[in-house]
Chains A and B, each alone.
Chain A
C-alpha cells in the first residue's frame, strides 16, 4: 500500500483556547487571602451549675461599651493599642516571684516527681471509672482529658529542661465583655491585641529556649504536619508549641452582651 502522508494538525488556535481558559480562571478566582481569628464556642450545657467564684486578680476584664469606649482592668483606655501591654503585664507580673500584694494572678511551681505522681493518680482514676458499670461516657472523657493534661505537662517540663515548671494560676483568663452596639472594628481590635500579646510572650521564651521565634516554629509545624516524611520534625515542633501554650495559655472568654 502506498505510504500516505499524515496531514499536520493546525495548532494555531491552541493559543486562543489557552487564553480563553486563562481568562476564565482570572475572572473566577481571587488572590487575596482570608485571614481571621479563630475562636472556639463553648459547648451548650443544659442545666449549668452556678459558676465557682473567681478571685478578681485572676480576671483580666476588657470592657467595651456602645460608644466604643474601652476599660481594661478598671482603667479607662483611650488608645486600644495599649491593650496588649496590659495583657502582657497580666501574664508576666508574677512570673518570676509571687507578690501577694499586687493584683495579678499567682504562679504555681511543680516539680517532675509531683507531675509523675499526678499521672499515676490520674491513670488509676481513669481505670476505676472505666471499670464502673453504667458510667456516663462524659465522665470517662473527662478523666481521659485529665490524664492527657498531666502527660502533656510532663513532656513540657522535659522540653523546658528545668527542675521545675512554673505555671500561671489555672483560673487566670481574659474576659471580653462588649455591648450590643460595640463596633465590629473594636471587637476585632481587642482580639488582635490579645493575639499580639500572647504571640510576643511566646516569641520571647521560644527565642531563649530554642533560638527561634514562635512564629517560625508554628509555621514549620503547619507545613510539616501533613507531610509523611517529616513526622519526626513535626512531633518535635508540636512538643515545643505545647510547652509554649502551657507557659502562656490563651484562655479567652467572650460574654454574650445583654444590652
Chain B
C-alpha cells in the first residue's frame, strides 16, 4: 500500500477565469484615465525641437479650448516640391485641400472661424482665449509662423502656443 495515489485518468481541473474580465476592465479604465485621445494623424513630418519649463496643454485639450496646426515637410516626398518653401500646413479636422491652397494664409483664418462657429454654445469661450497650438518641425522657417500669427491677430484669436518636446525640469 502506497501513501501516494496515482490519479491517473483524471484530467487537471480547469482554471477559474471568472475574474479575468475584472482584470481587463481595470486595465481598460487605467488607459482611459491616463491617456488623451489622439488628434488626427498629421500628413506632415514633424520633429519637435526641445525646450524646458514648457506649459502642459492637457487641461486645455480636455476642455477643447485648443486647435492644433502642424507645420512640416509632407510625408509624401514627391509632394515636397509642390510647396514653395518645402513645408506644408496640416490643420486638424480639415480634409486636405489643394496643394496650392494648403499654405495660403486665408485657410487658417477660415479654419479657425469654422471650428469656433461649429462648437456648441455651452463650450464657447470667447475667441480671444481659444489657443492655437503650433506644432512645427525643427527646420521650419519662423516666417511662416509669424504669417499665421498675423492671420490670427486679424480674427482676434489672441492666444498662440509654440509646441516643444519638454526635457523636464532638471
Interface of A with B (CB < 8 Å)? 11-12, 14-15, 17-19, 21-22, 25-26, 28-31, 33-44, 178-189, 191-192, 195-196, 199, 215, 254, 256-257
Contacts and interface: CB of A to CB of B under 8 A. Distances in A.
A169 to B, nearest CB: 25
A31 B35 CA distance: 5
A39 B157 CA distance: 12
Interface string B51-69: 1111111100100000000
B142 A41 contact: no
A189 B54 CA distance: 11
Given A34-B58, A183-B139, A189 B31 contact: no
A204 B142 CA distance: 33
B120 to A, nearest CB: 21
B169 interface: yes
A93 to B, nearest CB: 23
Interface of B: 17-18, 20-21, 24-25, 27-28, 31-32, 34-38, 49-58, 61, 71, 131, 133-143, 145-146, 149-150, 152-154, 156-166, 169
Given A25-B28, A181-B143, A188 B164 contact: yes
Per DSSP, are chain B's interface residues mostly helix, strand or loop, or mixed?
mixed
Nearest to A213: B169
B141 A29 contact: no
A221 to B, nearest CB: 13
A35 B57 contact: yes
A37 B53 CA distance: 8
24 contacts: A14-B21, A17-B21, A25-B28, A28-B37, A30-B35, A31-B34, A34-B56, A35-B56, A35-B166, A40-B158, A40-B159, A42-B153, A180-B146, A181-B142, A183-B139, A184-B139, A184-B140, A184-B141, A185-B49, A185-B138, A192-B54, A196-B53, A215-B169, A256-B146
A185 to B, nearest CB: 4
A184 B57 CA distance: 19
Given A30-B36, A30-B38, A185-B138, A38 B131 contact: yes
Given A19-B24, A22-B28, A196-B52, A41 B160 contact: yes
